[in-house]
Amino acid sequence: MYDLPLQLWNWITYFGSAGITLPLAATLAIWLALGYSPRLAIAWLAVLGVGIAAVALTKVAFLGWGIGIRAWDFTGFSGHSMLSTSVYPVVMMIAMTRAHPALRMAGVVFGIALGVAVSLSRVVLSAHSPSEAITGCVVGALTALSFVAIAWRAQPHRWSVPAVVASLAVVTVALHGVPVPSQRWVTEVALKMSGHQHPYVRARWKANPNYRPASRPAAAVFQPAEMRRI
Q: Going residue by residue through the chain (230 aa), what tens digit of pLDDT does each one get?
A: 556 788 899 999 999 999 999 999 999 999 999 999 999 999 999 999 999 999 999 999 999 999 999 999 999 999 999 999 999 999 999 999 989 999 999 999 999 999 999 999 999 999 999 999 999 999 999 999 999 999 999 989 878 889 999 999 999 999 887 888 888 999 999 999 999 899 999 999 988 888 888 665 444 443 444 323 33
Q: At what angle do helices 79-95 and 161-175 cross, to 10 degrees?
A: 160
Helices 130-151, 101-124: crossing angle, 10 deg rounding: 160
Please name which of 57, 20, 203 lies closest in space to residue 139, comparing C-alpha atoms.
57
What pTM value is reported for the model?
0.87
Q: Give Dmax (Cα) for the chain.
A: 77
Rounded Cα distance between 100 and 31, Å, is 20
Contact 213, 200 (CB under 8 A): yes
- Kindly list the domain boundaries of the chain, sorted by start residue: 6-229
Name the DSSP letter for residue 4: S
Spatial neighbors of 37 by CB under 8 A, at least 6 apart, are 154
Model pLDDT, residue 219: 42
